[in-house]
Structure 1
Amino acid sequence: MSPLPGPGGLSGYAEHFREPDGYLDFGRFGPPSADVVETTAVLSGRAAHATAGTVDELMGYELRARRAAARLLGVTGAGGVDQVALLPNTSTGLFHAAFGLPHGTVLVPAHEFPSNLYPWRRAAALGRVRPVPLAPDGLRRITPDLVRAALTTETVAVALAAVDFRTGFRADLAGIREVIGPDRLLVVDAIQGLGATEQPWTAADLLVTGGQKWLRAGWSTGFLYASERALERLEPALTGWTGVEDAGLFDDREHPPADGALRFSLTNANPIAAGALARALELVEQAGITRITGHIRQRTAELIDTVRSVGGLVRSPTAEHERAGIVSFSVPRTGTATVAEALAAHGVTATVRQDEIRLCAHASTTLTTVDLVHKALHSLSR
């Protein structure tokens, strides 16, 4: 297999990115690195000039991406890669979870992102699991104590985001894992945290993520991690032809599900997307997730201070152990549209919601970007 383009001497993670100063919309989309862009172009070029070995060569990047994902999660044993399967998005993995649980109730935060709501509703409509809304506390947090209080004998799983998409609150995955006990599954949507925070990811029984946000791998990239407990209890209800044993043997028989997480495969992964994901994950590995998260924490703290300097109301957690890279805020007596216009006028790209603004900083976010936010918000008082 030919090597993918590499960064050469890694002198700084930020040097691999090209987004302009002012970009703070990583919770929605993380512009991919120059490495990922080049990888996509190289692999597309190979596909365009296909020879006898091209398809097999390209398909090999799926394993490379799975290995990189396993290392990022800390699943480094001999069978670690077998617990990872590639997915094109988070929703596909959540549908596997919803249709794989055949009975009982699932606790789901009431204000989750819709991708973690619709799969459970669809499964309930077909008589499988039933979602039970889990209301957050007064600070809009889902805590272990809150989960413990909501558990019943019918609860078979808890499904939640590792990082809340609105506030950036970082769930205590280890604490929730402990309170639900060994007889229930923990399903985690990691898309707003993986690549931006360090968490005990394998506390989850089923972890799903897309790669287009904080991992910066581009659209149609992502993966699933399944614990042994998840593999034992989830029915392979949505398993496709590539998720079975001897998938390449076309003998008109139904084959049993594959061992490990590959049983959650529906069809062949896009090998070009797999190559892009592999390169993005390897870049995170080379830079070091601790370095990346440290920079994100610093910029997030600076953005919080900037918002407060104009009297803004920060709705994200301010305690460092509870927050990720998201800062949601509003400015009292100033409409959201007015704040958004000021930010845009100063070259700041943010997520604009009906009643709040969301700023998301990454490791490539410059101090100049923070200064642009400062100027934009202070212009409101003039």
Structure 2
Amino acid sequence: MTERRTAGGLPGYAEHFEEPEGYLDFARYGPPSRDVLAATADALARSARADHTTVDDLMHADVRARRAAARLAGTDPDHTVLLPNASTGLFHAAFGIPGGTVLVPATDFPANHYPWRRSEDLGRAVPRWLTPGARGPITPDAVRAALTPDVVALAVSAVDFRTGARADLAALREVIGPDRLLVVDGIQGFGVADLPWPAADVLVTGGQKWLRASWSTGFAALSDRALERLEPTLTGWTGVTDVALFDDSEHPVAPGAGRWSITNLSPVAAAAFAAALELVERAGVRAIEAHIHDRVDQLLDTVRAHGGEILSPTAPAERAGIVSFRLPGTSPSDIAKALHTHGVTPSVRATSVRLSAHASTSLAAVTRVDAALSTLG
């Protein structure tokens, strides 16, 4: 096993965090940085001493977070809106399509299923379920084969939650052409995978996983095509023009992505989100991604050395930060017990175990996995 970077994680990034050494569950939840903790504490402390300027001042965090999110997504703040989670954005997208068929992978995370089921219940867009290959996301060829004149959109996850396999967003964009919308759930890749996010017409993500901003944080980035075609079905009182004018009349929807706003979000959460996004910017997505690739290589080598069956792609260009595996003859629950005994935090599924490393993950985490699996031989 070769350590190609530093034993303690990516320099300039890892020192902002203090998760336990064996934490390998970032695909479920990413423990936030000290920057996020400080931003949250500061915003709450200021709110506890509120005066006539406090609320307006705290609301400025929304602008700061939107600007950082837009920069990382390759767009601008006018095309970006903060959301409390990824699911809210997916429901906006689903309810905004008035009709037609939307292609959706049948094995995608449920967050990308229920919005389309509900839109069908309401007589709007109807999902057509696609079956991907064994190792993850739907392929461009499978999408091409499913295209019919009634298809108006494709909704996919950028990274498969089970295996960490990346979707080829650029190729999917090319396959569906300019007349259909590409809706992307980026929660398992945004901030840690250098993907062509501008290929998406709708990019949504939550901040509690790889962005490490904790819960109630997220955003959506919308293309001009999305703004033109999606109906503002869920627009609330904060998603319109002249939002501070209370004149007892309906106002036009906001011209940009702000039309997806339903109500004011927590400025405390926005401050936390801004701190998390800016830390990613300072470290650089490519540097974060490179460190994660190294850790994933080491985890793959370790699992193989103990006879594990790898369920994730092994080529760096095809994967993100997830290693899913099975040990023939050993139940996932028994694997989990061994990992827990050695201070490792995984995700445990019915038929597999999932490890997910970040740029703060040290080589010691890999050593712990090796020691745990050694007890199962």
Residue in 1 that maps onto 2:277: 281
Residue in 1 that maps onto 2:286: 290
Q: Does 1:377 align with 2:373?
A: yes
Residue in 1 that maps onto 2:57: 57
Distance in 2 (alpha carbons) for counterparts of 1:86 and 1:99: 18
User: Which of the residues 235, 238, 241 maps onto 2:231?
Assistant: 235
User: One-letter code of the match for 2:217?
Assistant: T
Residue in 2 that maps onto 1:319: 315
User: One-letter code of the match for 2:174?
Assistant: E
Question: What secondary structure is seen at the aligned counterpart in 1 of 2:287?
Answer: helix
Residue in 1 that maps onto 2:92: 96
Distance in 1 (alpha carbons) for counterparts of 2:350 and 2:73: 35
User: One-letter code of the match for 1:377?
Assistant: L
| 1:85-141 alpha-carbon deviations (Å, 9 max, x no partner) | 000000000000110000100000001111110010011001001000010024443
Q: CA deviation at 1:12?
A: 1.4
Distance in 1 (alpha carbons) for counterparts of 2:150 and 2:291: 43
CA root-mean-square deviation: 0.9
Residue in 1 that maps onto 2:28: 28
Q: Does 1:176 align with 2:177?
A: no
Q: How does 1:197-208 map to 2 (within 5 A)?
A: 197-208=193-204
User: One-letter code of the match for 1:16?
Assistant: H
TM score, norm. by length of structure 2: 0.97
Residue in 2 that maps onto 1:108: 104
Distance in 2 (alpha carbons) for counterparts of 1:22 and 1:138: 29
Distance in 2 (alpha carbons) for counterparts of 1:131 and 1:377: 42
Distance in 1 (alpha carbons) for counterparts of 2:65 and 2:359: 22
Percentage of pairs with the same residue:
63
Distance in 2 (alpha carbons) for counterparts of 1:141 and 1:123: 23
User: One-letter code of the match for 2:91?
Assistant: F
Distance in 1 (alpha carbons) for counterparts of 2:342 and 2:91: 41
Please, which runs of 5 or more residues in structure 2 have no aligned partner? 1-9
Q: CA deviation at 1:319?
A: 1.3
User: One-letter code of the match for 1:221?
Assistant: T
Distance in 2 (alpha carbons) for counterparts of 1:361 and 1:151: 36
Distance in 1 (alpha carbons) for counterparts of 2:65 and 2:269: 9
Q: Does 1:352 align with 2:348?
A: yes
Q: CA deviation at 1:16?
A: 0.2
Q: CA deviation at 1:74?
A: 2.0
User: One-letter code of the match for 1:51?
Assistant: D
Residue in 1 that maps onto 2:333: 337
Q: How does 1:231-270 map to 2 (within 5 A)?
A: 231-270=227-266
Residue in 2 that maps onto 1:85: 81
Change (3 A) 1:11 1:297: closer
Q: Is the Cα–Cα contact under 8 Å of residues 211 and 276 in structure 2 kept in the other structure?
A: yes
User: One-letter code of the match for 1:15?
Assistant: E
TM score, norm. by length of structure 1: 0.95
User: One-letter code of the match for 2:144?
Assistant: R
User: One-letter code of the match for 2:323?
Assistant: V
Q: Is the Cα–Cα contact under 8 Å of residues 136 and 162 in structure 2 kept in the other structure?
A: no
Distance in 2 (alpha carbons) for counterparts of 1:363 and 1:68: 20
Distance in 1 (alpha carbons) for counterparts of 2:134 and 2:256: 40
